[in-house]
Amino acid sequence: MNVFFRRALIVIAALTPGGGIAQAQTPAAPTAMTLEQAVRYALAHHPAVAGALARIDGARAARDLAAAARIPTLDAAAMVGGATGNVTAGSFFPMSGVPGSSGPVGTTSLGGAAWTTTAALVSTVPLTGFVRANRLTSARAAAEHAAESGADAIRLDVAYTAAAAYLRAMAAAAAQRATEAGVRRARTLLTRTDALVAQQLRPGADLSRARAELADAERDEANAQRQRAIAEAQLAEAVGSATPVAAMDTAVAAASPPLPASSADHPLIAEAKDAEVAAIRERDVAALGWWPRLDVVGALWARGSGIAVNGVVAPSMHDGLNPAVPNWALGLSVSWPLLGFPAISAESRRTDAAVAMANAGERAVENVVSSARRAADADAAGAAVVAQRARVALDAARIALDQAAARYDAGLSSVADVADAQRLLARAEAADAVAGIESLAAQLGVARAGGNLQALLALTKPGNAR
């Protein structure tokens, strides 16, 4: 009984106005946007654009890291320790870059010890490293340019995808409006036929046909509503919105074709070319593997010790805490990787393969862009013809319906002729509305295939969609 009571309380709490179930089932109101607003929103909020910008930041940081290798090193070091004085003048632990002390043996007793101190500035100037750093920086700069071109390509794709999704939502809305008009005509036909059948001016079969036509039109309307809901959900994904988005525009105007863009200006081609340049410069870096490493090394340091040169330990151990004895050293270091052939040869082959891959990738991208441009031009030309013929078909369907209705009213035809004419008009209305939208979408495709983001954005202006 207690278990049942607790479960009942949980169900009641969940179903109350403040409960979680009631709140979770409340859908968020869609945000209405124009075509231009949807594209601008996508460019500002889509995760793909944010990722592309992060890639640019990473490439820029890699370039700065490579450039930092051209700066000589300068390290500050200090040490305080206690040790015996059996080595002149007092032992101390090795310090990177600080020359070691040497000299005759002092005392041989382990009993005497004192403090020793060292403070040093150590610097290395990589002479051959400058050449490698310059080449690596140049390679990283080319990679940065490739990332920037890639970001431009992603912006273009995001803008086109958002615009195309918006036009699909517009087309779905137009198709829904056409089906709604078809339902209204079917209801009008049913009302007229019902009256005629009641007056025994038409057979009962006409009334059954009119009812079937209304049911068929209502089914088409429900399917159009479903397709519109799907299109608007896909529109929200395309613009990068977590909340539903609805298309505010309802019609498109005849837009002039976008300005042609040279295929060389396409950001995908620019990205491929920059990637090839980066690979070539990486190969130039690998060619330095056989070069000797030549460094200028220098150190300026001071030491203090509580043990004299003769090995006598100072009476007070703190006498060694003052690094008062200055020293300096300067040298030229040369090293050669005599046994580095396997690694250097493998790196050389790797970079050669990377250059070949980048070159092949560039040629493949050029082919893809060229084919996409031809396909987009053909699509735009065909869409314009379809839009013109859809208007002719719509006008013809309207005339056909008027004639069929007049013949039906005059008793010269059956209700089937009117029903067929109504369905033909509904299809023609939907096709005409969608044809204009598809024509604009085809022009957007031309702008995308040419890599012309500005032309694409110009096609989304309020004058083209309203």
Q: Return the residue matching tokens 């198709």.
A: 175
Determine the pLDDT at residue 109: 53
Q: How confident is the model at residue 55 (pLDDT cuts 50, 70, 90)?
A: very high
Residues 231 and 349 occupy one common structural domain: yes
Domain check: are 114 and 147 in the same one?
no
Which of the two residues, 335 and 259, has the higher pLDDT score? 335
Cα 130–chain centre separation: 35
* 36 has pLDDT over 70: yes
Q: For residue 120, how many other CB atoms are within 10 A of its CB? A: 22
Q: Computed over its alpha carbons, how large is the radius of gyration of the chain?
A: 41
Helix (H, G, I), strand (E, B) or coil at 57: helix
The pLDDT of residue 246 is: 84
Residue range of the domain that includes 42 = 27-67+133-280+344-459
The pLDDT value recorded for residue 281 is: 92
Share of the chain above pLDDT 70, in %: 78
Of residues 128 and 230, the one with the higher pLDDT is 230
Say whether both 246 and 353 belong to one domain.
yes
Confidence at residue 248, expressed as pLDDT on a 0 to 100 scale: 80
Does residue 436 register a pLDDT over 90? no
Residue 111 lies in a domain: yes
> Do the domain assignments include residue 22?
no
Task: Among 107-121, 235-249, 403-417, 424-438, name the one with the lowest average pLDDT.
Answer: 107-121
Q: Is residue 365 part of a domain?
A: yes
Q: Is residue 10 assigned to a domain?
A: no
Verify that 45 and 83 share a domain, yes or no: no
Among 39-53, 109-123, 194-208, 412-426, the range scoring the smallest mean pLDDT is: 109-123
Predicted confidence band of residue 81 (pLDDT cuts 50, 70, 90): low
pLDDT at residue number 114: 61
Q: Which is higher by pLDDT, 180 or 22?
A: 180
**What region does 30 belong to: left with phi over 0, alpha with psi -120 to 50, or beta?**
beta
Per-residue pLDDT, averaged over 49-75, amounts to: 89
Asked if residue 224 has pLDDT above 70, the reply is yes
pLDDT of 364 over the 60 cut = yes
Confidence bin at 14 (pLDDT 50/70/90): very low
Instruction: Give the total number of structural domains in the chain.
Output: 2
Mean residue pLDDT across the chain: 80
Average pLDDT over residues 16-24: 43
SS3 123: strand
- Report the distance separating Cα 126 and Cα 129, nearest Å: 5
Partners of 221 in beta bridges: none
d(CA 353, CA 101): 50
**Is residue 8 in a domain?**
no
306/449 same-domain check = no
Average of per-residue pLDDT across 308-324: 62
Joined together, the tokens standing for residue 382 give 């065909």
Say if residues 292 and 282 touch (Cβ distance below 8 Å). Answer: no
362 plus 267 within the same structural domain: yes
Domain-located, residue 21: no
Tell me what the mean pLDDT of segment 166-193 comes to.
87
- How much is the average pLDDT of 45-61? 92
pLDDT at 261 over 80: no
Say if residues 354 and 278 touch (Cβ distance below 8 Å): no
Rounded to 5 degrees, what are φ and ψ at 263? -60, -25
Percent of the residues in the chain that have a pLDDT greater than 90, as a whole number: 23
Q: How many CA atoms lie within 13 A of 207 on its CB side?
A: 12
- Amino acid identity, position 439: S
Arithmetic mean of pLDDT, 308-331: 67
Q: Are 129 and 285 in contact (CB under 8 A)?
A: no
pLDDT band at 243 (very low <50, low <70, confident <90, very high): confident
85 with 226, same domain? no
Instruction: Please tell me whether residues 45 and 178 are part of one structural domain.
Output: yes
Q: How far is CA 325 from CA 89, 321, 424, 459, in A?
A: 12, 11, 105, 78
The better pLDDT of the pair 265, 131 is held by 131
User: Do the domain assignments include residue 5?
Assistant: no
pLDDT at position 112, please?
A: 57
Backbone angles phi, psi at 23, to 5 degrees: -75, -40
Q: How far is CA 274 from CA 56, 78, 135, 148, 279, in A?
A: 13, 47, 15, 10, 9
CATH of the domain at 62: 1.20.1600.10
Are 336 and 348 contained in the same domain? no
CA distances from 90 to 62, 93, 119, 323, 328 (A): 45, 10, 15, 13, 19
Beta strands of 226-314 (E only): which ranges? 245-247, 293-305
Residue 2 lies in a domain: no
57 and 31 housed in the same domain = yes
Average pLDDT over residues 53-65: 92
Tell me: do 270 and 412 sit in the same domain.
yes
In angstroms, the CA 195 to CA 193 distance is 5
Q: What is the pLDDT of residue 157?
A: 92
Q: What is the pLDDT of residue 94?
A: 65
pLDDT at residue 102, as a whole number: 52
Reported confidence tier of residue 352, pLDDT bands at 50, 70, 90: very high
Strands 31-33 and 245-247, sheet pairing: parallel
Stated as kind and residue range, the H or E segment containing 329 is: strand 325-335
Task: Kindly give, in sequence order, each residue whose CB lies less than 8 Å from that of residue 53, ignoring residues fewer than 6 positions away.
Answer: 151
pLDDT by residue (tens digit) across 377-432? 999 899 889 988 988 998 999 998 888 888 888 778 778 888 888 888 888 888 88
The pLDDT value recorded for residue 3 is 44
CA distance to 155, 189, 269, 378, 457, per residue, from 449 (Å): 13, 48, 11, 12, 14
Mean pLDDT of 442-455: 87
Same domain, residue pair 320 and 349: no
